[in-house]
Amino acid sequence: MLKLIIPSYKKFLPLLNSFINVSSEVFDVRQIQDKIELCAEEAFIYLLRNSYRDEEGDIEISIEVNERYFILSFIDSGLPIEIAFPQTAAEGIQSIDTQTLELLLIKKFSHMAEWINHGKAGREFKLYFELPQQAIYTLTEIEESEHFEVSADDIEIKPFEKRWATEISQIIYKAYGYSYPNEDLYFPERIIALNESGQLVSVVAYDTKRDRIAGHYALERESLGSVAEIGQAVVVPSYRGLGLMKKIRKKTQEIGKELGLEGIMSKPVTVHLFSQKTNEVLGAVPVGMGFGVSPVKKFKKIEADSSQRGSCMYYYLPLKNRKRVLWVPQRHKQVIESIYTDLKLDYALKEEDDRPRENGTVQSAYSPDFEVGSIYVTAIGEDNIRYIKEAFFNLLFRMKAEVVLLYIVMEDFNIETLISQVEDEKFFFSAILPSFVEGKDVLVYEFLPKDIDESKVEIYADRAKELVHYVSNEKRKAV
């Protein structure tokens, strides 16, 4: 740990800057040096103004680096203060709050900030900066330099056991760095708890000879519904070339069937073709396209576009068939019917133009990991659009959602009017997902405030390309 103690005067700021800059060089984090320097100044000035209020005292600054973070800490024994971070940035000149501007920048440029009270020993303002991707990459390469001969005979595909939780976290970390949006995977105890509750169903490729994990896939069932999302796919580099990805996924699908699921959906990224190809090979069907539904993150070791949000295809693998009666909007009837034909699911269309009930049901949720807002219309009613607008406003302007997805059940009532209303609000057709919400088939609509550059979207299958073309046209009409 490196330490610096400076008096509580602004004139010592250059000394703090030098300390930060030299430490950044020593710990080889020059890529994020400007952000650390900025937050150091903001924290120092904030403490001078609020904790010392021009009185003399000392501030102890320390720096330490662990596997994940560069940690910058300020310990002072000035006036007790409470640090409350502003929730959002200002919008417009009148709403700029110069008193909290320092904290706003700290919030935006550090990964995490903590305020710890040490009693008589003072208070600690601790700022965490995630180590640059390159540093994680280098670390992984060192660990993976071990070479051994692998054989498919050594591998068994097995359901989750508690003892593998830490290893699952480690291989996800090695494959994705800290860029995987679902952070539960970085906490072994959460992996155990989620597997126990059934919200996560992990399947691993286990190397019996070396007692280690060679790969992982999982079903995610947050609400324990009848459709699970498949993902968290990793094969440890030393075990590539054995076809493990396909084998683990096949086993995962079998387990899904045993659990009585109606289907499995997946969202393969469109920055490369591999995951889409796996979906096609294992019988999943493209059912839509989600533009910008993934947060801006670099996929480790994969050439990816970090300048804009990521896009995903929606694939669906039916595990059960049932007869469903659907109301579909005339304007999208053709594409919806072609998707159902590909899925080989039994359906009948209803077209009566009855008036819907007065009151429907609309719910909403926000996912901070993905910065995505979701609105669910689970019962069709005349008041749907009012509640959709209310939820939409909340998600977009209060929660600052980057994308809003709207799920509309097709198995309840005529949705023709509602579809016209939501398309007037600039939502566009994105996908259909059978049995996805409360066991019912839904239409997925999307609202995308910032358009996506589609030149970087790669699509594998021809029928998927047709679907993407259709959704893209709908998007163009709306954006």
Partner 1 sequence: MIEIHKEENFFVVLSQRLDAMNADDAKETVTQELVDIDRNIVIDVSGLEYISSAGLQVVLKCAKLAQESHKECFLKGAHGTVKEIFQVSGFLTFLKEME
Residues that bind partner 1 (CB under 8 A): 10-11, 13-14, 34-35, 37-38, 41-42, 45, 89-93, 95-96, 98, 101-102, 104-105, 108-109
Residues 448, 312: Cα–Cα separation, whole Å? 14
Q: Nearest distance from residue 108's CB to partner 1, in Å?
A: 4
Beta carbon nearer to partner 1, 102 or 167: 102
Q: What angle do the packed helices 165-176 and 188-197 form, to 10 degrees?
A: 120
Beta carbon nearer to partner 1, 94 or 330: 94
Q: Nearest distance from residue 96's CB to partner 1, in Å?
A: 6
Q: Nearest distance from residue 24's CB to partner 1, in Å?
A: 14
Q: In what order do the strands lie in the sheet with 212-220?
A: 155-159, 200-207, 212-220, 227-235, 263-266, 310-318, 285-294, 428-437, 440-447, 403-409, 372-379, 361-367
166: enclosing H helix or E strand: helix 165-176
Q: Nearest distance from residue 127's CB to partner 1, in Å?
A: 15
Beta carbon nearer to partner 1, 110 or 232: 110
Beta carbon nearer to partner 1, 14 or 260: 14
Asked if residues 289 and 311 have their Cβ atoms less than 8 Å apart, the reply is yes
Query: How many residues are given for the chain?
Result: 479
Residue 268 main-chain phi, psi, to 5 deg: -65, 140
Beta carbon nearer to partner 1, 49 or 463: 49
DSSP 92: S
Q: What angle do CA 280, 460, 463 make, to 5 degrees?
A: 70
Residues 398, 420: Cα–Cα separation, whole Å? 26
Beta carbon nearer to partner 1, 34 or 254: 34
Beta carbon nearer to partner 1, 110 or 266: 110
User: Where do runs of H (alpha helix) occur along 282-428?
Assistant: 333-343, 384-393, 416-424
Q: Nearest distance from residue 76's CB to partner 1, in Å?
A: 17
Q: Nearest distance from residue 45's CB to partner 1, in Å?
A: 5
List strand residue ranges (DSSP E) for 67-136, in order. 69-76, 112-117, 123-130
Strand 310-318, strand 324-326: pairing:
unpaired
Q: Nearest distance from residue 70's CB to partner 1, in Å?
A: 16
Beta carbon nearer to partner 1, 33 or 435: 33
Q: Which of 191, 238, 233, 249 is nearest to 214 (CA)?
A: 238
Q: Nearest distance from residue 305's CB to partner 1, in Å?
A: 18
Buried b (16+ CB within 10 A) or exposed e, 150-180: beeebbebbebeeebbebbbbbbbbbbbbbb
Q: Nearest distance from residue 10's CB to partner 1, in Å?
A: 6
Q: Nearest distance from residue 360's CB to partner 1, in Å?
A: 35
The per-residue DSSP string of 12-38 comes to GHHHHHHHHHHHHHHTT-GGGHHHHHH
Beta carbon nearer to partner 1, 89 or 112: 89
Beta carbon nearer to partner 1, 46 or 340: 46
Q: What CA dihedral angle connects 154, 157, 161 and 167, to 10 degrees?
A: 60
